[in-house]
Structure formats: structure tokens, C-alpha cells
Chain A
Amino acid sequence: GESVGLHLPTLSVQEGDNSIINCAYSNSASDYFIWYKQESGKGPQFIIDIRSNMDKRQGQRVTVLLNKTVKHLSLQIAATQPGDSAVYFCADRRGGADGLTFGKGTHLIIQP
């Protein structure tokens, strides 16, 4: 069915390494994609977003890549820090829709 899904439920990385969190989507009508970070007991925190007319966007220590050919989205976090430990959600907005459709999330664990 149509969904935004994640390849891995848990990702463990060494502190200082780069992290890559992947996401697949199935709806070719999706025109907007967004990544959120959610720490335990808190609401999702906006990280970065990208429109479907772009294939890359950079923020502070984060980069989002969009491959529309294979319907794949990734979040890259450079020089991962302990404060990056959280669950990361990708979400998309399907053309004409109002709400976002979320994946189940990837738990990023930082090893010292």
C-alpha cells in the first residue's frame, strides 16, 4: 500500500561518525518531504525539509537527499553527537493533501 516507510528501526553509530537514515516512499504524487527528530516525551522537532523539485538540501550538520527515480529519501547527520540520540521520522505531503503522512521512525543510538 501507499506509505512512507523506513528501512531500519534502529541505527547505532559511533560518536563523531556520520549518520545516514533512509526512507522510502511509494506515492509519486508526493511533492514535499520533511524530517523530524523526536526525543523521549517531547513533540517532533523540525529538522529539514525538501520540495520535490529539488534533490538536495543542506542545513547545519544535516543534509537531505531526494531521489525521485527510486522514491528514496535520506537524512545525513555529520559528526554525530550524543544530543542527536532520538527517533527520526520522515514524512511526506501528498499533492493536495493537508496533513503529513509519517513513517514509523528510526531510533538513532549514539555509542560513546
Chain B
Amino acid sequence: GAGVSQSPSNKVTEKGKDVELRCDPISGHTALYWYRQSLGQGLEFLIYFQGNSAPDKSGLPSDRFSAERTGGSVSTLTIQRTQQEDSAVYLCASSLARGTETQYFGPGTRLLVL
């Protein structure tokens, strides 16, 4: 079946602009995660959704970052007033359910803030 998909695959924006990144999890997966990967680094956990429950926002780096998940499926990560340090690959992952740990990742969105 289809894996996790993300769009756009690449995004170039100007400092100060807002961006929206989209994630479509694997069908039937109720848990969804967002991570950020800076150049040459490991992944940094940002936020987690379980179904329609309120998200765990503990990893969000600032209040410019927000995310929502509609209908327990598609998720959007929004970065407001982007800064150059926001440039990174933003990765989405999904798992069957909370407590089912294996997370499957999408290809990521490469964000470049000029």
C-alpha cells in the first residue's frame, strides 16, 4: 500500500513569510509525528497526534510553529514569520497506534528560508 506522503517536496521562501507543510499518513495509522532534520544532523521531535486528540506540542521550538490534524488523518505543519534557522528537512511519520512504536517516515519537505 501507499506510504506516508508529504508535500511540497521542496519549498523556498523569504524570511518573514508563512509556510504550510502537508502530511498524509499511511491509511489506518492513527498516530502521526512531525520531526525536523537540520543539515547533517539527526531528527528532532516536534509534535505528535493520536487520532483527534489534542497534540503533544512539547517539542515545538517556538510559538511560530503550529500543527493541526483534520479528521484524524491529514496533518498540516505551519511555520509563521519564517527565519533562516527554520531551514531544514521536515519529516512526517505515522504508526498504527500509540504504543505501536514502529514509525514509518515520509520523504520529507526541504524548506529553505532566504
**A43 contacts B102, C-beta separation under 8 Å:** no
Q: Does A93 contact B (CB under 8 A)?
A: yes
Stretch of B13-21, B72-80, B103-111 at the chain-chain interface: B103-111
Residue from the list A42, A102, A105 in contact with B107, Cβ < 8 A:
A42
**B45 contacts A46, C-beta separation under 8 Å:** no
Query: In the assembled complex, which residues on chain B have CB atoms less than 8 Å from the CB atom of A45?
Result: 105
By beta carbon, the residue of chain A nearest B46 is A99
Taking residues whose C-beta sits less than 8 angstroms from the other chain, chain B's interface range is: 20 to 34
A43-B106 in contact given A98-B98, A99-B35, A99-B48 (Cβ < 8 Å): yes
Q: Does A89 contact B (CB under 8 A)?
A: yes
A43-B108 in contact given A89-B43, A98-B56, A99-B45 (Cβ < 8 Å): yes
Q: Does A72 contact B (CB under 8 A)?
A: no
Q: Which of B42, B46, B91, B104 has the most CB of A within 10 A?
A: B42
A101-B45 in contact given A32-B101, A34-B101, A44-B91 (Cβ < 8 Å): yes
The chain B residues found within 8 Å of chain A, CB to CB, are 4, 33, 35, 40-46, 48, 50, 56, 59, 91, 98, 101-108
